[in-house]
Amino acid sequence: MSKLKFFALFCIGCLIASCSDNKIDNNPAAQLKVQGSALLNEKGDTVVLRGVSLGWHNWWPLFYDSETVKWLKKDWHINLIRAAIGVEPDGAYLRNPPFAKECLYKVVDAALSEDLYVIIDWHAHEIHTSEAQYFFTQVAEKYKDNPKVIYEIFNEPTDKCSWEEVKQYSIEVIKTIRAIDPDNLILLGNPHWDQDLDKVAADPITGFKNIMYTLHFYAATHKQYLRTRADQAIAKGIPIFVSECAGMEATGDGPINYNEWQAWLEWMEQHKISWAVWSVTNKAETCSMITPDNQKKAEWTDNDLTEWGLIIKNCLQKIYP
């Protein structure tokens, strides 16, 4: 075992301590509902979902496969998976919708077969209202009867998008989904890569049920100031879902900040906030969980996992033994 992986395993015991004290059923009752800032199941109990996000489908379609989903459930013990359907880059949805939907449906169908919650993520950085409405019309018509499907309608609005613009976009896409699916959870983005929750709290979207706002963080970049901002939003009744997070810099690279990742884990557990970690990819960067250029879809040994992959696998296994 390399020194790097030995160090990662040494740190895991510390990192998982905060999330092992609040165990929940790996299969909470299916229908989710939002009450105040809390996510509840159909029995009225608080639900915390924890899992992983696949990388952009257009760059890592290898892992958009039933084998990958089944292995993550069996070995990593996830109860949530996120399908990041890329929108703008070459080969992504806007240029190749059939391939995007082929990748998406394989993951969603496999997740539902495994009784997992699954996030359908419109992985965009800019506003594409009509295209998003068409996309979510199709997926909502296909999956409206399964309460374990979650719609994430805007991955990370950039700092070029104002909250007013994102809010209006969100209202239009929510209306599109609700005309087909009246109940399933919808996740809403906000400007500055899902960090401007203060603007959301000052002017939230009203008139719809079962909506939550996404917060994304990379622990080596986003520290106490962002937790404080989120605390203030929660105090105003804003429901938060961390649909993407990791322990390194916001670039997805650089060293893991163990202290800040631990602080974020403790914060999410304190507030009973669900999370999905970025990402199941094999790129040569810190946030990739699979070793570079590894072509195995599943049945990974520890040697197939990066430092980050080992940390997350062992954390999830500890929460859901």
Question: What is the signed CA dihedral for 195, 196, 198, 203, rounded to 10 degrees?
Answer: -140
Classify residue 284 by its DSSP letter.
Answer: S
In the numeric block, the tokens 């009203």 are attached to 206
Marked catalytic residue, from 102, 114, 164, 244: 244
Beta bridge mates, 280? 54
Full-model pTM:
0.94
Cis peptide before 66 (omega within 30 of 0): no
pLDDT confidence of 320, banded at 50, 70, 90? confident
Rounded mean pLDDT, 286-297: 97
Domain extent, residue 282, equals 3-319
* CB contact burial 237-251 (16+ within 10 A = b; e otherwise): ebbbbbbbbbbbbbe
- Give me the pLDDT at residue 206, please: 98
Q: Tell me: the pLDDT tens digits for 180-213?
A: 999 999 999 999 999 999 999 999 999 999 999 9
pLDDT confidence of 18, banded at 50, 70, 90? low
Residue 62 reports pLDDT greater than 90: yes
pLDDT confidence of 29, banded at 50, 70, 90? low
pLDDT confidence of 275, banded at 50, 70, 90? very high
Supply the CATH number for residue 80's domain: 3.20.20.80
- Give me the pLDDT at residue 15, please: 54
CA distance 18 to 262: 8
**156 included as an active-site residue:** yes
Q: Tell me: the pLDDT tens digits for 122-142?
A: 999 999 999 999 999 999 999
**244 included as an active-site residue:** yes
In the chain, how many domains are there?
Answer: 1
- Give me the pLDDT at residue 125, please: 98
Marked catalytic residue, from 152, 156, 260, 307: 156
- Give me the pLDDT at residue 16, please: 52
Q: Tell me: the pLDDT tens digits for 292-313?
A: 999 999 999 999 999 999 999 9
